[in-house]
């Protein structure tokens, strides 16, 4: 008789945003209106909610334009990483800026 084998297939790395806030000295939280020229910090925390370690590049998307941090981060399962993106001298645009973390499944 042959014994059965157990095979574990963990869930792939998955990076989930757990905290996303925009703030500055002139724009109290939650910062939704900022006088021109607007400068704010966008703080984003990602967590690997998968079952194995994985890599990603922290980035921010502003009105469809992606700006990465230029570094690759490796996170173990349940590990978190926080990056602060400083946005300086944003001019009045006539419509709101759409700011999103990336990755953001």
Domains contained in the chain, CATH given:
15-102 (2.60.40)
> What is the pTM for the complete model shown?
0.86
Under-70 pLDDT residues of the chain: none
Tally: H helices and E strands in the chain: 0, 8
Tokens 């953001």 identify what position? 104
Q: Give me the residue label for tokens 């399962």.
A: 77
Q: In this prediction, what percent of the chain has a pLDDT beyond 70? A: 100
pLDDT in tens, 20-42: 999 987 777 788 888 888 889 99
Place of tokens 């059965």: 4
The DSSP secondary-structure symbol of 6 reads -
Note the Cα 8 to chain centre separation in Å: 29
Q: Mean pLDDT in the chain? A: 92
């Amino acid at each position: 008789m042959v014994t059965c084998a157990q095979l574990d297939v963990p869930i792939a790395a998955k990076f989930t945003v757990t905290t996303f806030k925009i703030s500055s000295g002139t724009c109290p939280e939650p910062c939704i209106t900022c006088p021109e020229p607007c400068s704010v910090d966008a703080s984003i925390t990602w967590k690997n909610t998968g079952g194995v370690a994985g890599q990603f590049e922290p980035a921010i998307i502003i009105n469809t334009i992606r700006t990465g941090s230029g570094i690759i981060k490796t996170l173990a399962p349940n590990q978190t990483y926080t990056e602060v993106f400083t946005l300086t001298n944003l001019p009045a645009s006539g419509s709101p800026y759409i700011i999103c973390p990336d990755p953001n499944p």
